[in-house]
Amino acid sequence: MGFAEFTKTAVRNLFSKPATKNYPKVKKEFFENARGHVIFDETDCIYCSLCARKCPADAIKVDRNAKTWSIVRAGCVQCSNCVDACPKKCLSMGPEYTPVMTEKGCETYARVPDNTEDN
């Protein structure tokens, strides 16, 4: 690159907007159908374990007896296999990425007992 070209580029960069975002002040806008994280809706879950069986990262655990559904978010690779496999449409992909974590924890969702039959 010649001196004249270099100067032109330097001056242009001096007055143009930065190519990067000022994160976290400026948040990223997610594109449509972005696969950020798995969302679980327990309402219709039948604890069949199909999602866990289809997960290539072994990130999902389902306990049919205890009626719990768990995910290790740090292990999930956002492939969406579990979403496609669920026969009850309990799973979906949210666009935002999982927040940064310091420990590889397991997130567990337990079925809230239905007390309407007690009365």
Asked if the bond preceding 87 is cis, omega within 30° of 0, the reply is no
- The rounded distance, in Å, linking the Cα atoms of 109 and 61 is 11
Give min distance, CB of 32 to ligand SF4, in A: 18
CB closer to ligand SF4, 17 vs 104: 104
Report CA 59 to chain centroid distance, whole Å.
12
Nearer to ligand SF4, 46 or 110 (CB): 46
Mapped onto helix, strand or coil, the DSSP state of residue 7 is: helix
Closer residue to ligand SF4, CB minimum distance, 34 or 57: 57
Distance (Å, whole) CA 78 – CA 92: 11
Give min distance, CB of 67 to ligand SF4, in A.
10
Nearer to ligand SF4 (CB atom), residue 28 or residue 64: 64
Question: Cβ of residue 71: shortest distance to ligand SF4, in angstroms?
Answer: 6
For residue 113, what is the DSSP state?
Answer: P
- Nearest approach in angstroms of CB 39 to ligand SF4 is 11
Interface positions with ligand SF4 (CB under 6 A)? 38, 45-51, 54-57, 59-60, 62, 71, 76-82, 85-86, 88, 90-91
Q: Which amino acid is at 92?
A: S
- In a 13 Å sphere around the CA of 51, the CA atoms on its Cβ side amount to 31
